[in-house]
Amino acid sequence: MSEHQRTLIGYRMERARSTLQDALLLRAQGGSIWSVVNRAYYGMFYATLALLLHIGQSSSRHSGVIRLFDQHYIRTGKLPAEMSRWLHRAFELRQMGDYHETAELEEEQAQLLLQQAEQFIRLADEYLSAQEQSRE
- CATH numbers and ranges of domains, the chain: 3-135 (1.20.120.330)
Higher per-residue confidence, 100 vs 79:
79
CA distance 79 to 48: 11
- pLDDT band per the 50, 70, 90 thresholds, residue 100: confident
Give the residue from 22, 28, 7 showing the smallest Cα distance to 118.
22
Per-position DSSP letters for 25-50, written without gaps between them = HHHHTT--HHHHHHHHHHHHHHHHHH
The CA distances from residue 4 to 1, 10, 77, 115, in Å, are 8, 10, 27, 31
- The model's pTM is 0.95
* 69 burial level (CB within 10 Å; 0-12, 13-18, 19+): buried
Mean pLDDT, all residues of the chain: 94
CA distance 91 to 78: 21
Q: Under a CB-based contact definition with an 8 Å cutoff, are residues 52 and 68 in contact?
A: yes
pLDDT at 136: 66
Give the residue from 25, 22, 75, 77 showing the smallest Cα distance to 44.
22
What are the pLDDT digits (tens) for 18-74?
Answer: 999 999 999 999 999 999 999 999 999 999 999 999 999 999 999 999 999 999 999
Mean pLDDT of 13-21: 98
